């Protein structure tokens, strides 16, 4: 019997392990402590999910290690058991996003229906973690021994931050090579870099209460999302409210955008509605903040500094998606164009801030982007405050690891024409050196990650387990007959 055939035998055991993992409500929470005083950095649910998976690893005959409850790993030891030459990392995560509404069943009780496994975490990322674990088991039960240790690293805050893998790498270092089963098949060999910054301007003086003032402008919930709603509150000169309301109606008629006005006490409230989308794909949305900025450009406020800032936005950003008028319209052959998304806007009478999320091509750096933006700003009284940087990653298609991972996918699926891809999003490959995102979403899968009724087909679970087993065999074991 070969290791691939063993996986078919393990199917029911795999489903049982996954069902138990799904039952742990591992939504990240505030740090708390056990009855014995032990720290649980991400809350009880995440902690229980870690202990369960480590227990499963031990039950299946592997060595396990709990990294101070910040992470953990399940290890398939090497021949000499030293790991002196590094380890092969399969880096997944056990935390899940909040449940939200719209579920047909309890999201933490996995059910099987019409060939699909439903539950929070089935596809992101507990299903792929379980598939990886049983891929390791199939190889171990076949009597094979790897050249370097294989560690299934269990991250615990992928959905909210980097502290889990940061803690792990501080103690155990980065893998020599590896993959994260938290992306796309056939293989992600590149991820655009990300830089998040604020464009900010302070206003030197307030205007008199009877003058026309913009007292509040709010839009967005996160820098990496297209704002669906934007709201402005105008105060002061009430004599202009009716005229502004008429301008809102005229703009709505002219543009076709959803925008409205209403009086609220002594103020006029203007609200714009766009279409939400992920910040990596702003072309799939419509930015409500840009709608509202464009309209406000038709109003003359008492503050010339405010008017100038509104004009700056409309003249340099507007509805651009690639930084065309901010001087950072970069592109390369493997990545395509830079992606420019305004995710947050906050303006009051003292300061205006616009938070921008940029995904830049793999052949450029965050300095390339920021220098171009700064040059475009010139003498404008708008400053840049950098909030986050994630460098781009890229591995050439002819890299030996890329070739072997791709071959594992092709051999199992029969898709001889498959090619690696560069994506706009970010995975653990940005946080740990020498790894790439390898699955677990297949090209024809319906993506239900982060949604109600998250699901994974049972066939996909088995297929990814066999792909991972093939990949581990090719990269970590001597050539031998199956």
Query: 400-413 and 458-476 helices cross at what angle (nearest 10)?
Result: 140
CA distance 346 to 159: 25
Query: Alpha-carbon torsion 42, 48, 52, 54, what sign?
Result: positive
| Length reported for the chain | 482
Distances (CA, A) of 5 to 81, 106, 463, 466: 27, 33, 12, 9
**Nearest CA to 169 among 475, 438, 433?**
433
Q: Starting at the edge strand that comes first in sequence, how are the strands of the sheet with 455-457 ordered?
A: 111-113, 116-118, 455-457
3-state secondary structure 175-213: CCEEEECCEECCCEEEECEEEEEEEEEECCCCCCCCCCE
Question: Residue 369 in contact with residue 330, Cβ under 8 Å?
Answer: yes
Residue with tokens 């101070």: 68
Query: Alpha-carbon torsion 90, 91, 95, 100, what sign?
Result: negative
DSSP string covering 114-150, please?
A: TTEEESTTTTTTHHHHHHHHHHHHHHHHTT---SS-E
Catalytic residue among 56, 95, 441, 454: 95
Tokens of 205: 């003086």
Q: In DSSP terms, which residues pair with 384 in a beta bridge?
A: 199
Q: In DSSP terms, which residues pair with 390 in a beta bridge?
A: 194
Catalytic residue among 158, 198, 228, 454: 158
Tokens of 141: 């039960």
**Nearest CA to 473 among 140, 62, 92?**
140
Does residue 95 carry a catalytic annotation?
yes
Count of other CB atoms within 10 angstroms of residue 10: 19
Question: Residue 350 in contact with residue 203, Cβ under 8 Å?
Answer: yes
Task: Report residue 179 CA to chain centroid gap.
Answer: 16
CA distance 61 to 76: 9
Task: Report residue 462 CA to chain centroid gap.
Answer: 25
DSSP string covering 21-35, please?
A: HHTS--B----EE-T
Q: Is 109 helix (H, G, I), strand (E, B) or coil?
A: coil
Question: Residue 419 in contact with residue 187, Cβ under 8 Å?
Answer: no
**Nearest CA to 192 among 403, 365, 399?**
365
Q: Is 210 helix (H, G, I), strand (E, B) or coil?
A: coil
Just list the catalytic residues. 95, 158
């Amino acid at each position: 019997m070969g290791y691939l055939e063993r996986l078919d035998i393990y199917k029911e055991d795999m489903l049982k392990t996954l069902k138990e993992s799904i039952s742990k409500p591992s939504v990240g929470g505030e740090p708390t402590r056990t009855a014995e005083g032990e720290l649980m950095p991400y809350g009880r649910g995440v902690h229980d999910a870690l202990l369960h998976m480590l227990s499963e690893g031990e039950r299946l005959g592997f060595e396990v290690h709990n990294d101070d409850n910040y992470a953990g790993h399940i290890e398939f030891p090497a021949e000499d058991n030293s790991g002196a030459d590094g380890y092969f990392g399969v880096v997944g995560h056990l935390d899940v996003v909040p449940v939200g509404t719209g579920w047909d069943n309890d999201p933490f009780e996995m059910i099987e229906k019409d060939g699909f496994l439903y539950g929070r975490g089935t596809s992101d990322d507990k299903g792929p973690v379980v598939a990886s674990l049983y891929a390791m088991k199939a190889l171990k039960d076949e009597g094979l021994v790897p050249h370097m240790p294989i560690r299934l690293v269990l991250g615990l805050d992928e959905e909210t931050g980097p502290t889990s893998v940061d803690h792990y790498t501080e103690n155990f270092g980065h893998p020599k090579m590896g993959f994260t089963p938290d992306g796309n098949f056939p293989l992600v060999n590149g991820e655009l870099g990300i830089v998040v910054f604020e464009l900010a301007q302070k206003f030197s003086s307030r205007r008199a209460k009877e003058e026309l003032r913009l007292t509040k402008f709010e839009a967005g919930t996160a820098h990496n999302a297209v704002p669906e709603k934007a709201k402005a509150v105008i105060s002061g000169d009430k004599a202009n409210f009716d005229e502004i309301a008429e301008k809102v109606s005229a703009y709505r008629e002219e543009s076709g955008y959803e925008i409205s006005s209403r009086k609220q006490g002594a103020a006029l409230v203007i609200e714009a509605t766009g279409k939400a989308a992920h910040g990596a794909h702003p072309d799939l949305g419509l930015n409500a903040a840009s709608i509202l900025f464009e309209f406000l450009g038709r109003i003359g406020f008492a503050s010339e500094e405010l008017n100038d800032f509104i004009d700056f936005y409309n003249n340099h950003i507007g509805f651009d998606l690639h930084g065309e008028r901010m001087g950072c319209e970069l592109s390369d052959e493997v990545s395509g164009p830079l992606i420019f998304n305004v995710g947050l806007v906050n303006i009051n009478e003292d300061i205006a801030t616009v938070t921008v999320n940029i995904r830049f091509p793999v052949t450029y750096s965050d300095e390339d982007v920021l220098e171009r933006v700064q040059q475009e700003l010139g003498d404008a009284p708008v400053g840049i405050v950098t909030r986050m940087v994630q460098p781009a990653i890229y591995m050439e298609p002819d890299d030996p690891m890329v070739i072997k991972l791709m071959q594992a996918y092709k051999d199992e699926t029969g898709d001889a024409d498959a090619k690696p891809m560069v994506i706009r999003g970010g995975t653990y490959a940005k946080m740990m050196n020498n790894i790439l995102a390898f699955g677990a979403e297949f090209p024809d899968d319906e993506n239900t990650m982060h949604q109600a009724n998250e699901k994974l087909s049972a066939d996909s679970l088995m297929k990814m387990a066999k792909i991972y087993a093939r990949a581990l065999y090719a990269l970590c074991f001597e050539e031998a007959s199956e």
